[in-house]
Chain A
Amino acid sequence: DGGITQSPKYLFRKEGQNVTLSCEQNLNHDAMYWYRQDPGQGLRLIYYSQIVNDFQKGDIAEGYSVSREKKESFPLTVTSAQKNPTAFYLCASSSGTDGYTFGSGTRLTVV
């Protein structure tokens, strides 16, 4: 079955530590996206990539970094520069202008 997989489901980060969230899709979609969701809030765009080896900043890119070396993969690194990283992170992919397919999310908590 085609889909989009995020891992891990839960992640704990210590102060000053970088962590990487995984996002893999087998839908052959060109575009991939990372969103952040805070409790009771909507989704805010962190980074997006329309094609391999290219990506653009979204609305809240500070403290995050991404890479797009393969079509199937779009990992997100939450760096120590992100001062308030506790949130629910959602990865999505799309083809053209139709609907997005979302992963099941990674819940990141600072301990």
Chain B
Amino acid sequence: SQQGEEDPQALSIQEGENATMNCSYKTSINNLQWYRQNSGRGLVHLILIRSNEREKHSGRLRVTLDTSKKSSSLLITASRAADTASYFCATRGAQKLVFGQGTRLTINP
């Protein structure tokens, strides 16, 4: 079963703009993670936010977590062509990660 639901399913923006992706989930979590997948490749771990954290930064990435609303957002600032990829949120329960359907991000030059 897929717990995370990303929104939007697809996003197309101009290079240099900020990109925001949202993730909603249904049950209590240990942590929430974001991954990037370039076409035809494996997933790359971007950032992890624990259930007792509200915001986390890593370079141009900013993740927020609202456990009361069971939602998270990923902000990519000053987007670049190389950011074009699919982005997945994944929620960690007791034993494993459950992935959402992903947001396909396209950065136009």
The residue that A43 contacts in the complex, of B30, B33, B41, B88, with Cβ under 8 A, is B88
In the complex, which range does the number of interface residues on chain A fall in? 20 to 34
Q: Does A104 contact B (CB under 8 A)?
A: yes
CB proximity of A83 to chain B, nearest CB, Å:
21
Q: Does A1 contact B (CB under 8 A)?
A: no
Main secondary structure on A side of the interface with B: strand
CB proximity of A78 to chain B, nearest CB, Å:
18
The closest CB in chain B to the CB of A48 belongs to B96
The residue that B96 contacts in the complex, of A45, A98, A103, A107, with Cβ under 8 A, is A45
The closest CB in chain A to the CB of B47 belongs to A99
What separation, in Å, do the CA atoms of A43 and B6 have in the docked complex? Answer: 13
CB proximity of B83 to chain A, nearest CB, Å:
19
Q: Decide: B42 and A102 in contact? CB cutoff 8 A.
A: yes
Q: Does B101 contact A (CB under 8 A)?
A: yes
The closest CB in chain A to the CB of B2 belongs to A42
Q: Decide: B2 and A97 in contact? CB cutoff 8 A.
A: no
CB proximity of B48 to chain A, nearest CB, Å:
6
Q: Does A50 contact B (CB under 8 A)?
A: yes
Q: Does B78 contact A (CB under 8 A)?
A: no
Q: Does A101 contact B (CB under 8 A)?
A: yes
CB proximity of A89 to chain B, nearest CB, Å:
10
The residue that A103 contacts in the complex, of B2, B40, B42, with Cβ under 8 A, is B42
With contacts A101-B45, A102-B42 known, what are 6 further pairs, Cβ within 8 A?
Answer: A44-B2, A48-B95, A88-B40, A98-B48, A99-B35, A100-B35
